[in-house]
């Protein structure tokens, strides 16, 4: 069962990580529904190639690219500033960019790469665009999480969010995906009265270029297990559903798989953890919007 086709004409959508994998599949699907697309990508030439592919499949699409590395806060701030300067509304923000790193590395700004791209990038871009999302309400924030969060090792260690004490490939990746779920919950709590919904989803194991940046061994492993993977279009369908479907227009704070609510690990539901992560993220990005609403 694929996501239903919804008329998205007049809706402005920003999507990150759209030059490959499920992000590209989602961008094409959204363009075919008539959305006004803004694609955020790290590589301008790949972005232009993706736009050409989208325009071939949806000739009437209004689409543009913004170039920036979602792992660099300076780039995220510039991308947000450029979008805000366009004065476009923002009805849907689809946070999708992601990485898996075989070995621990740091960005030029000194942040562990997986955490920087997969969580801080989502957090910072969203918070910088909150006012535009509020002004465009009803609006949606959709984030690509993963059941890999169940490999995070349990509860978040706030003394080691950037895996300085211990680093494993899937431990770091799993923690970043747990952060996506917690971020979604806290965003939903904070923005429920402002016409913004926030949901995230597990795409399943998708056959794409994801993780192939980790050398020959990773490429061989991906090639061996690819026959068992779902297509990029299938991986994208729950994200597209959350971006477009009237059925979830008033649902917020959820984690989905196959277009249905999905149970996350118990570590995603521990009291106070989502708020604590938000506060830690504010410190790491030097941001701060407003206090959490009082229940």
Residues labelled catalytic: 173
Would you say 65 and 40 are in contact if contact means Cβ atoms under 8 Å apart?
A: yes
Report the distance separating Cα 183 and Cα 191, nearest Å.
12
CA proximity to 162, closest of 89, 123, 92, 106: 106
Would you say 183 and 278 are in contact if contact means Cβ atoms under 8 Å apart?
A: yes
- Which of 223-227's residues contact partners 24+ apart within 8 Å by CB, and which partners? none
Report the distance separating Cα 2 and Cα 7, nearest Å.
15
CA 7 to mean position of chain CA atoms = 22
Report the distance separating Cα 269 and Cα 168, nearest Å.
24
Would you say 30 and 243 are in contact if contact means Cβ atoms under 8 Å apart?
A: yes
Report the distance separating Cα 104 and Cα 96, nearest Å.
21
Report the distance separating Cα 120 and Cα 56, nearest Å.
33
Would you say 34 and 9 are in contact if contact means Cβ atoms under 8 Å apart?
A: yes
Strands of the chain (E only): list them.
12-16, 36-41, 63-67, 92-95, 139-144, 196-201, 254-257, 260-261
């Amino acid at each position: 069962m694929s996501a239903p086709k919804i008329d998205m004409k007049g809706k402005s959508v920003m999507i990150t990580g759209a030059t490959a994998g499920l992000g590209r599949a989602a961008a094409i699907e959204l363009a075919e529904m008539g959305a006004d697309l803004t694609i955020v990508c790290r590589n301008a030439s790949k972005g232009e190639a993706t736009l050409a592919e989208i325009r071939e499949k949806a000739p009437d699409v209004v689409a543009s690219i913004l170039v920036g590395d979602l792992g660099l806060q300076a780039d995220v701030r510039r991308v947000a500033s450029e979008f805000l300067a366009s004065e476009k509304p923002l009805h849907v923000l689809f946070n999708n960019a992601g990485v898996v790193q075989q070995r621990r590395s740091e960005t030029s700004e000194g942040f562990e790469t997986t955490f920087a791209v997969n969580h801080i990038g989502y957090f910072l871009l969203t918070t910088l665009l909150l006012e535009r999302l509020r002004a465009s309400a009803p609006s949606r924030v959709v984030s690509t999480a993963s059941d890999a969060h169940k490999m995070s090792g349990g509860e978040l260690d706030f003394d080691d969010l950037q895996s300085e004490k211990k680093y494993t490939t899937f431990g770091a990746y799993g923690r970043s995906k747990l952060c996506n779920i917690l971020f979604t919950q806290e965003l939903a709590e904070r923005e429920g009265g402002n016409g913004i919904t926030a949901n995230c989803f597990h795409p399943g194991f998708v056959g794409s270029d994801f993780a192939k940046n980790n050398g020959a061994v990773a490429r061989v492993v991906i090639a061996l297990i690819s026959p068992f993977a779902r297509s990029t279009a299938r991986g994208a369908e729950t994200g597209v559903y959350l971006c477009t479907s009237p059925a979830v227009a008033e649902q917020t704070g959820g984690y989905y798989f196959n277009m249905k609510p999905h149970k996350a690990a118990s570590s995603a539901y521990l009291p106070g953890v989502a708020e604590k992560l938000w506060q830690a993220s504010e410190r790491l990005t030097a941001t701060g919007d407003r206090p959490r609403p009082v229940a």
